[in-house]
Structure 1
Amino acid sequence: MKTFIYPEMMVHVPMCTHKNPTFVLLATENSDLFGEELGRYRDIHSVVVESGNLLESLRNVADKTLDVAMIDTLSSDSAVLAHINRILKDDALMVIKHPDLDDVSANTNLMQILGNYFKIIMPYHLEDGSTLLLCSKEYHPTADLILQRSDLLEGHQYYNCDIHVAAFAMPQYVRKNYLGIIRN
């Protein structure tokens, strides 16, 4: 597996979708993996918290301070998701790991909880077959893609503006399974 794909897609999809991301939360046990990708952006203030005790870590973050949250762990805990919502600004977005798209019941539960907080909820594919879930209060990941930002990034091995858009293409059976649950 190409280890650069996951961090590039976790970081660059939200960072190239949000109009002006300046405050970013990264919840992970692998901060070095994502730190290099975040380092490609100027004027970004990032907070890294361990994903092992996410609820406790989020309690210390002030309300409505974050533009982007990147959650490198599977969490459908409604308390954790409520805290994430509390710390996100009104136009913020989040990327979170989630169950495989074939696990419709687990994803349905997670997406229904997220639907309380986000206008847009869209899974996107990675080359290894896994998916991430982009949740946005304002920006659409394909309609609001900042092409100039995505094209001017240097040093990545996988991500580009074409991959960004293509990652959101879903086969028909997935669309049918999630009809009324995925919000785009």
Structure 2
Amino acid sequence: MKEFIYSEMMVHVPMCTSKNPQNVLIISDNANVLAREILKHSDDISTKAVECSLDAVRDLDDSSVDVIICEMSSDSVLLAHLSRILKEDGQLSIKHPSLDEVEANKTMMKILGNYFKVIMPYNISNGSTALLASKEYHPTADINLHRADMLDNNQFYNCDVHIASFAMGNYIRKEYLGIIKN
């Protein structure tokens, strides 16, 4: 997979779903590429990066960020902390097991369902997916089209790709019926 596709999709999908992202948290052991993508939105956005460790996440303030981009393996403790850190209308983009790992994903999505109104897998490319979990906004109904179309220097992401990335085949829809919250 081309690295620019992954980084653009992990960052711009939640950023263009968020109403007015001002504070962004990246949880990654290699946050530089993701942070560069965030800068495409504005120099005024506060971006903080922490390494993939529960201790680093545990120390963050409640309701302090609008968007979290997380590359850390998740469990119920991490997901509870991510919800705590996000503002009441926050967006989370998180890596997860392949959609073919149904039971692991159902477990993760059920936990996220305790904290988020919307939980939807989306395609990054070449069969890789991430999850968008949102406390308020729907990623296809509430996309900020102006922000999505005005981003400069993207090689892959645009507003059409954003919406299309949420299209899933019937076998996935059936497998996750009642788990995906959209």
TM-score range, shorter chain: over 0.9
Q: What is the match of residue 157 of structure 2?
A: 159
- Report what 1:130 is aligned to: 128
> 1: CA distance between counterparts of 2:50 and 2:27?
5
Q: Equivalents in 1 of 2:64, 2:153: separation in Å?
A: 29
Mind listing any 5+ residue stretches in structure 2 that lack a counterpart?
none
1:60 shift after superposition: 1.6
Percent identical: 55
SS in 1 for 2:18: coil
Letter in 2 for 1:65: S
Aligned residues: 181
**Match for 1:61: what amino acid?**
L
Does the CA-based 8 Å contact 2:10-2:124 persist in structure 1?
Answer: no
Q: CA deviation at 1:109?
A: 0.3
Equivalent position amino acid for 1:127 in 2: S
1:25-46 deviation line (CA, Å, top 9, x unaligned): 1001111111210111222101
Separation in 1 of the partners of 2:73 and 2:131? 10
CA RMSD of aligned residues (A): 0.8
Where has structure 1 moved over 6 Å in runs of 4 or more? none
Deviation digits for residues 118-151 of structure 1, max 9, x if unmatched?
A: 0000000122210000000000000000000000
Q: CA deviation at 1:179?
A: 0.3
Q: Match for 2:38: what amino acid?
A: L
Structure 1 Cα separation of the partners of residues 119 and 60 of structure 2: 23
What amino acid maps onto 1:3 in structure 2?
A: E
In structure 1, the gaps of 5 or more residues are none
**How high is the TM-score relative to the length of structure 2?**
0.97
